């Protein structure tokens, strides 16, 4: 007797499309039998981990048979000291995706509405749909950015949560402090706003980029997400966190799985927080790489979306899928984003200067050929 598992699955899961990650280097090696591949597809940190993080991981290995500190005390402490926060405001996660999912599971039930923007980071609608939410996707502005006015208008008495990403992935668009503040002023306080700052370190210092941590008291419905996967170079270890009102974080911490952040990740995150030089180099490298791509796209007369993240999305003016495939054969993995409805665009993560050069060369060759 065969089981119809799709009938057994909860409704949201039946029609769920799984997250499509960037292609791993090892997969392309297996598929094409080639080596010397570069991956600029998952907004990872091309510098690799900080030497301080490496030393911290090595020191931690001896205790790997023990469970990690479920409370993540030292990481919370480092975050609180850096940003002037209280432990009770934090929720740690296995990557910030985990924290986002915790927020959804804490506040959203079957049939509740959630509001997000067209082209917003896709992990959110996946999480909300699995939870049985009705997802209200608000058309983006012509420049691909969030239309906050329309998002506000989409909020109804059934809305439990709004998702705002700044800068947004995969488009790179960013919201200014003034427009975001006006939006937060207008959102009813019983609607949770999950504000995702995965690329904060790259955007920090840009005039008019918001200081969301400074707004937490003014907007008690705000949950700010940060990650150690991008500028901190710890994507494989999976560690992120959210900051919210203590009562809100307390509820989220009830939902959080115990030990969701492993001891290597906890130690490496603290060590990287203490490596200001590393973060500075990461951000500077990204700034230079961004210029490399902008100049190349301008020379190629390709329209790109100005980005404050560690990636840039470019309109190829033709279907991107075959270009992506041809670039794979050149040993360069980038990210097609047809799953976002952007069929002519590819997203390229900023790499080391020589990786960027190779990627630009491959793109030129493919477009010419
Ligand atoms: C906007 C945004 N949020 C969250 C994440 C998830 O990051 P992680 O789960 O690795 O912390 C990503 C990763 O690409 C992202 O682009």
What is the pLDDT at residue 18?
A: 87
What is the pLDDT at residue 267?
A: 98
For ligand 1, atom 7, which residue shows the shortest CA distance? 96
DSSP 226: E
Centre of ligand 1 from the C-alpha of residue 96, in Å: 6
User: Which helix (DSSP H) or strand (DSSP E) does residue 136 occupy?
Assistant: strand 134-138
Average pLDDT, the chain: 97
Give the model confidence (pLDDT) of 267-281 as tens digits. Answer: 999 999 999 999 999
For ligand 1, atom 3, which residue shows the shortest CA distance? 198
The pick from 96, 128, 311 for probing ligand 1's pocket by mutation, whose C-beta has the most ligand atoms within 8 angstroms, reads: 96
Centre of ligand 1 from the C-alpha of residue 97, in Å: 6
Residue 309 to residues 131, 172, 258, 301, Cα–Cα distance (Å): 29, 6, 31, 22
Give the model confidence (pLDDT) of 147-175 as tens digits. Answer: 999 999 999 999 999 999 999 999 999 99
Closest ligand 1 atom, residue 97 Cα: 9
Centre of ligand 1 from the C-alpha of residue 229, in Å: 7
Torsion of CA 341, 352, 303, 336, to 10 degrees: -20
Closest ligand 1 atom, residue 239 Cα: 11
Give the model confidence (pLDDT) of 185-239 as tens digits. Answer: 999 999 999 999 999 999 999 999 999 999 999 999 999 999 999 999 999 999 9
What is the pLDDT at residue 105?
A: 98
Centre of ligand 1 from the C-alpha of residue 257, in Å: 19
Distance separating alpha carbons of residues 367 and 369, to the nearest angstrom:
6
Centre of ligand 1 from the C-alpha of residue 119, in Å: 14
3-state secondary structure string across 354-368: HHHHHHHHHHHHHHH
Task: Tell whether the model's pLDDT for residue 8 goes beyond 90.
Answer: yes
What is the pLDDT at residue 77?
A: 98
Count the alpha carbons within 13 Å of 158 in the hemisphere toward its beta carbon: 12
Closest ligand 1 atom, residue 99 Cα: 9
Distance separating alpha carbons of residues 132 and 117, to the nearest angstrom:
18
Closest ligand 1 atom, residue 121 Cα: 1
Centre of ligand 1 from the C-alpha of residue 224, in Å: 13
Closest ligand 1 atom, residue 309 Cα: 16
Beta bridge partners of 223: 194
Give the model confidence (pLDDT) of 71-83 as tens digits. Answer: 999 999 999 999 9
Distance separating alpha carbons of residues 290 and 356, to the nearest angstrom:
9
The pick from 39, 128, 229, 349 for probing ligand 1's pocket by mutation, whose C-beta has the most ligand atoms within 8 angstroms, reads: 229
Distance separating alpha carbons of residues 132 and 114, to the nearest angstrom:
10
Return contacts of 75-78, CB within 8 angstroms, 24+ apart: 75/239, 75/241, 75/261, 75/266, 75/269, 75/270, 78/269, 78/270, 78/273, 78/274
List the domains of the chain with CATH numbers. Answer: 8-48+277-368 (3.90.1150.10), 53-273 (3.40.640.10)
Query: Residues 270, 272, 274, 276: is their CA dihedral positive or negative?
Result: negative
Task: Tell whether the model's pLDDT for residue 1 goes beyond 80.
Answer: no
Backbone φ and ψ of 133, nearest 5°: -75, 155
Distance separating alpha carbons of residues 148 and 138, to the nearest angstrom:
9
Ligand 1: list residues with CB < 6 Å. Answer: 43, 95-97, 121, 165, 169, 196, 198, 227, 229, 235, 240
Give the model confidence (pLDDT) of 315-358 as tens digits. Answer: 999 999 999 999 999 999 999 999 999 999 999 999 999 999 99
Torsion of CA 52, 53, 58, 61, to 10 degrees: 150
Residue 130 binned pLDDT confidence (cut-offs 50, 70, 90): very high
């Amino acid at each position: 007797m065969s089981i119809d598992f799709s009938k057994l699955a909860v409704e949201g899961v039946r029609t769920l499309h799984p997250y499509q990650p960037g292609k791993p280097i090892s997969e392309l090696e297996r598929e094409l039998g080639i080596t010397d591949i570069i991956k600029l597809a998952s907004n990872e940190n091309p510098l690799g981990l900080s030497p301080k993080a490496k030393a911290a991981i090595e020191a931690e290995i001896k205790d790997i048979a023990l469970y990690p500190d479920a409370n993540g005390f030292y990481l919370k402490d480092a975050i609180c000291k850096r940003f002037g926060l209280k432990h009770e405001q934090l929720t740690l996660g296995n990557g910030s995706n985990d924290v986002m999912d915790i927020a959804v599971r804490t506040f959203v039930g079957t049939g509740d509405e959630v509001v997000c923007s067209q082209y917003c980071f896709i992990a959110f609608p996946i999480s909300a749909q699995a939870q049985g939410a009705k997802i209200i996707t608000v058309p983006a502005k012509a420049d691909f950015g969030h239309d906050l006015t329309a998002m506000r208008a989409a909020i109804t008495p059934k809305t439990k949560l709004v998702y705002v990403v700044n800068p947004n992935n995969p488009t790179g668009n960013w919201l200014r402090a003034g427009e975001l503040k006006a939006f937060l002023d207008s959102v009813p306080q019983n609607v949770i706003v999950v504000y995702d700052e995965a690329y904060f370190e790259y955007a920090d210092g840009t005039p008019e980029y918001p200081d969301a941590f400074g707004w937490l008291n003014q907007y008690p419905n705000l949950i700010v997400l940060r990650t150690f996967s991008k500028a901190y170079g710890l994507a494989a270890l999976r560690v992120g966190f959210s900051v919210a009102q203590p009562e809100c974080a307390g509820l989220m911490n009830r939902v959080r799985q115990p030990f969701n952040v492993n001891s290597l990740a906890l130690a490496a995150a603290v060590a990287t927080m203490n490596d200001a030089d590393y973060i500075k180099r990461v951000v500077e490298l990204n700034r230079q790489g961004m210029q490399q791509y902008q100049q190349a796209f301008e020379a190629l007369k390709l329209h790109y979306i100005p980005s404050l993240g560690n990636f840039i999305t470019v309109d190829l003016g033709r279907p991107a899928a075959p270009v992506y495939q041809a670039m794979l054969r050149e040993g360069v993995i980038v990210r097609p984003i047809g799953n976002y409805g952007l069929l002519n665009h590819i997203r390229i993560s900023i790499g080391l200067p020589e990786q960027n050069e190779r990627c630009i060369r491959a793109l030129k060759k493919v477009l010419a050929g």
